[in-house]
Amino acid sequence: MAGVKMWGRIDLEDLTGIAARRVCTGKEDSYVLSISAARDCLRYSRYQPDELEMIICCSITRYQDGLNFVYEPPLSLTVKEAIGAHRALNFDITNACAGMLTGVYIMNDFIRRGVIRRGMVISGEYLSSAVHNAVPHVKTVLSGQLASLTVGDCGAAVILERAPEGESGLQVSNFITLAKYSDLCIGEPCVDAPGAQMVTAARKIHQVAISDSPPILKRALMAAGLEYGDIDHFIPHQTSIRAIRSGGKHLARYLGSNVKNIITNFQEYGNTASTTHFLAMYRYLQEKRFKKGDKILIMAFASGLVIGVVIFTMDALVDRYGSAD
């Protein structure tokens, strides 16, 4: 960040609320982050890798051996072989910051229908190159690459399995793409440096998210038979302090009540794209701040423009990390 030379006295930490973020070392990339997260996830589960029946890799970045972006074979194939899930059906998903939740949405359908018993959704986001490549271009707070300065690297993995009889599992997973706004954030290979560049109309995205998400969330809550105030923990996409505060206020006003807790972690990690919700959940599990029976609401806002809602009740998962009870 030291290299950013903007007009006026702008404190980026004050503007975004982000105090720190994680950056890959020279030996890490999307592939390494993915397999590290997958192995860590398996450690907390009761399964061996060869018991996984599906592997979906969902990161925006698919860097391997440094900043080489892999198209084929799909990253999920390399990852499943590396972790030993040789029997698993694999494919990659791209859906910007909603990638992991899209993977969950798809896998949930396969599990509900009994096609598979369990599988893993993985993402390894090696986003630092977008930060480095944005630094020379950010001159004002209106810069299209300002949002690139907020991203951080992270790997995340989640194992999904069929809920035991009588337990609700994922109560709602509801996604919609408001394609009219598909060009508000474009990420592509940088023209003059290794890695990526990202140009974002951040204000416009925020306006659309504010105006269009409340009715979509209301519909999802109705499908789950819940009020907004029934939600114990709300995990929004981790963008910036201003976006989350104003978004939270607007949702509360529209829905007539407020959630009990909004989970944020961007202060320490920045915006880790598709892994953001699961990183937040992982930290809360580690800190033993969830209780069995807590109602969790996850909301995705992603380029496309994708708005996604996932609602579930925290179950025995807390026992494997340690619960607040």
Partner 1 sequence: MGALIESVAVSRPGFFRRGSVDLAVKAAADCLGKVRRDPNELGLLVNTGIYRDRDIGEPSIASFIQQRIRANELFTGAEGTFSFDLNNGAGGMLTAAMVVDGFLATGAVKYGLVVTSDAEPHPGQCESYPFVPAGAALLLSRGRAGEGFLHFRTDTDTEFAADFASRIEWTAKGRKKRNILMVRQKEEYARHCARCAREGLADFLQEISMPMEEIDIVVPSPGPPGWLAELVREPGLGERTVVLPEAFARMHTAGLGFALMQAREDGRFARAKNCLFLAVGSGITVSFALYRNPS
Choosing from 71, 164, 165, 166, the residue that interacts with partner 1 (CB under 8 A) is 71
Which tokens sit at 32? Answer: 């390494």
Q: In this complex, which beta carbon is closest to partner 1, that of residue 148 or of residue 240?
A: 148
Q: Which residue has the tokens 């029946």?
A: 53
137-176 mask for partner 1 (x: CB under 8 A)? --------------------------------------xx
Torsion of CA 145, 150, 151, 153, to 10 degrees: 140
By three-state DSSP, how is residue 176 classified? strand
**Shortest distance (Å) from residue 163 CB to partner 1:** 16
**Shortest distance (Å) from residue 297 CB to partner 1:** 18
- Residues in Cβ contact with 257 at an 8 Å cutoff, skipping those fewer than 6 apart: 227, 228, 229
Residues numbered 254 to 313 that lie near partner 1 (CB under 8 A) are: 302-307
Q: Strand runs (DSSP E) across 236-320, as ranges?
A: 295-302, 306-313
Residues numbered 76 to 115 that lie near partner 1 (CB under 8 A) are: 77-78, 81, 89-96, 98, 102, 106, 109-110, 112-113, 115
**Shortest distance (Å) from residue 320 CB to partner 1:** 28
- Under rule CB under 8 A, residue 188 binds partner 1: yes
Q: Count residues binding partner 1 (CB under 8 A).
A: 59
Strand-pair partners of 64: 68
- Under rule CB under 8 A, residue 317 binds partner 1: no
- Under rule CB under 8 A, residue 61 binds partner 1: yes
Which tokens sit at 101? Answer: 């939740």
DSSP 46: S
Q: How far apart are CA 208 and CA 240, in angstroms?
A: 16
Which tokens sit at 80? Answer: 């499943």
In the sheet that holds 233-235, the strands lie side by side as 170-177, 306-313, 295-302, 233-235
Interacting residues toward partner 1 by CB under 8 A: 60-61, 64, 67-74, 77-78, 81, 89-96, 98, 102, 106, 109-110, 112-113, 115, 175-180, 182-183, 185-191, 193-196, 198, 212, 215-216, 302-307
